[in-house]
Amino acid sequence: MSSTWTPAASVARDAEATDALTLATRCARASNFVYRGDDLPTWFADDGATTRARGATGATAFAVADDAARNERFVVIRGAAWNQPDTDRNKLSWQIAKVWPQRLRRETPVVCHQGVLEMTDEFWDDLKPWLRGDDGFTGTFYFTGHSLGGSMAIVCAARARLELGLEESRVGPIHTFGAPPVLAYDRLASGRSASDEATIGMNEIMRLLGFEQGAAMVRQYVLANDVIPRMWLAADPVFSAATKTDFIGGLLDWRREIFGEGMFTKNRFLYESIGELYWLESANNDQGKPTLSRFFGDDVLTKLQMELEDITQSPMTAMRTLGDHNSQAYVDALQFLTIRRVLNPSSPI
């Protein structure tokens, strides 16, 4: 049965796109609020949300805020906040350095960055009552975070599904902003032979974590010059440069031929990029006019590819990579796009 274009259908699609952009902006703002210390409840209140819970562990922090009018609950995890008074810098550094994979859950063949999993463990018991709905909440959950906070937001959503039985229908799209990848398929533990070259992608990883929607469940927003989302990926510019040397490249080729796909190949460095990519880039080098493009599947890693020369060619270029990772940079870009869309509905997303 063929579909016929109608003005009403076009309006519906436009409204859906505007709603998605508005939601992304709300999540970006919430991910920014958790860096604001004691002022956090005031910032949430300005967006019409009530802070229900918050906590800090020395390595990270979390907040739970409800938008009662929309029956929505935002679960927000903070990234690396080196200058916050509640941050133990030694502890945070040590957790980030624990890069080797660890099983997320005994029964599930998915591994997670050990330090990230341990950081999540520290506040998990405090967060669980707000995920179980012990307070009577029956609405939709939105997990979100910037940088490592976004990585932990995915882990928290997965644990809510696997450990607490939270229905998938009650989990809205997970929004991350400049988040590094921390999940991968554990091929060896799953029973696959070393010679089996079949690889499991982001869709199957998310299904193993309880989300039948697969990778579409995660919307990862990345500013073009932000290097952090490339960490622990084959797209990491330092790793990419290393694989081009005869020694490292040859060693990885040999390893793949002998042992099959694993944690280290030219196409995989520890973890997999999870989710659809929402690519934010300045139009015509105008920092004030970002554009937004969407990528799926294999195109995600291709788009994230960055050469070492891209960030070392000049001091200004290197500084731009730092600026693009700032949480406020994501807020500014998405607020611009949302306001433009509201004022001019015919404008491109």
C-alpha pair distances (Å), 82 with each of 117, 136, 231: 19, 36, 18
C-alpha pair distances (Å), 159 with each of 48, 222, 257: 28, 24, 35
Burial class of residue 171 (count of CB atoms within 10 Å of its CB; 0-12, 13-18, 19+) = buried
Q: How many CA atoms lie within 13 A of 96 on its CB side?
A: 20
Q: What is the pTM of this model?
A: 0.84
Domain extents in the chain = 7-180+201-229+276-343
The pLDDT score that the predictor gives to residue 347 is 78
Q: Which CATH number fits domain 7-180+201-229+276-343: 3.40.190.10, 3.40.50.300, 3.30.2350.10, 3.40.50.1820?
A: 3.40.50.1820
Task: Give 67-125 as a DSSP string.
Answer: ETTTTEEEEEE----TT-TT--HHHHHHHHH--SEEEEETTEEEEEEHHHHHHHHHHHH
The mean pLDDT values, 10 residues at a time, for the chain of 349 residues are 44 80 97 94 97 96 97 97 90 89 90 95 98 95 98 98 97 97 79 52 94 97 89 50 44 41 48 92 72 91 66 46 79 95 82
pLDDT tens-digit series, residues 221-246: 999 888 888 887 643 444 444 444 45
Rounded distance between C-alpha atoms, residue 47 and residue 154, angstroms: 23
